[in-house]
Amino acid sequence: MRADRTGPPRGRQKEADRNDELVLRAAREVFAEFGWNAPVSEIARRAGVGVASLYRRYPTKEDLAQALRVESMNALTSQARIALIDHPSPMAALAAFFRGALSSPITGSLLALMGGRLPATEEIDAAEEHLRRALDDLVDAAHGSGALRPDVTPADILLLLNHLNARLPTSNERATELHLRYLDLVLTGLQNPSKPDDRPTTPPDWAELRALWNAP
């Protein structure tokens, strides 16, 4: 991934960063369309870079997908933190997090890219830990307010995002509109019921979530 540096990028580094952004954007689109069989040549074409240049940056398709994993998890972490700061109501913060995640092209296909394909790395583990802590804070605040069902876990939040972000055969704008519509319907079900549920189910924990997105 990108090396840390001080000050704004200049010259060739600025161009390299711009190309990297174009590659990751194109990769998200192509992975969304083709899944794991996404052609690297098509990613390069949409990014406007040469295949050789892309391979110099990401030697394998796995390296490219791992970069998308980190980018997506970091974006989700930021969205969770910002939602808590911007919304005094914990349930409003949770709703804002969902809406931001469903509206963003960066976070939209997180679990679809992860599921059963890619091994964990130190960088992935670090990004995941930051995300888990951010979601812990988001869920704990909503629990503390008494508004969120007590059995909802941070793993529920990510899996729910995956269900809500199903790929639909329509324009991106209409798909986002529908995803947000179903989110509004689901948010009612997340609220703590005044009457206990007489059909309790077992929520996922983080270990189960990791098993879904990390290759054995």
Say which CATH number the domain at 25 has. Answer: 1.10.10.60
Report if residue 114 sits inside a domain. Answer: yes
CATH of the domain at 186: 1.10.357.10
Which pLDDT does position 171 carry in this prediction? Answer: 83
Q: Are residues 132 and 204 in the same domain?
A: yes
Whether the pLDDT of residue 42 is over 90: the answer is yes
Average pLDDT, the chain: 84
Q: Are residues 51 and 106 in the same domain?
A: no
> Mean pLDDT over residues 8-29, rounded?
82
Which pLDDT does position 196 carry in this prediction? Answer: 58
> Mean pLDDT over residues 112-138, rounded?
84
Q: Are residues 187 and 86 in the same domain?
A: yes
**Cα dist. 86→78, 119, 126, 133 in Å?**
12, 35, 25, 18
Q: Are residues 12 and 90 in the same domain?
A: no
Which pLDDT does position 37 carry in this prediction? Answer: 85
Q: Are residues 141 and 199 in the same domain?
A: yes
Name the domain count of the chain: 2
Q: Are residues 28 and 68 in the same domain?
A: no
Whether the pLDDT of residue 200 is over 60: the answer is no
Which structural domain, as residue segments, surrounds residue 21?
8-59
Report if residue 3 sits inside a domain. Answer: no
Q: Are residues 130 and 75 in the same domain?
A: yes
Q: Which residues contact 95 (CB under 8 A, 6 or more apart)?
A: 183, 187
Q: Are residues 119 and 186 in the same domain?
A: yes
117 falls in which pLDDT band (50, 70, 90)?
A: low
Q: Are residues 41 and 95 in the same domain?
A: no
Q: Are residues 25 and 88 in the same domain?
A: no
Q: Are residues 27 and 69 in the same domain?
A: no
Q: Are residues 196 and 100 in the same domain?
A: yes
Tell which wins on pLDDT, 111 or 87.
87
Report if residue 1 sits inside a domain. Answer: no
State pTM to two decimals.
0.80
77 falls in which pLDDT band (50, 70, 90)?
A: very high
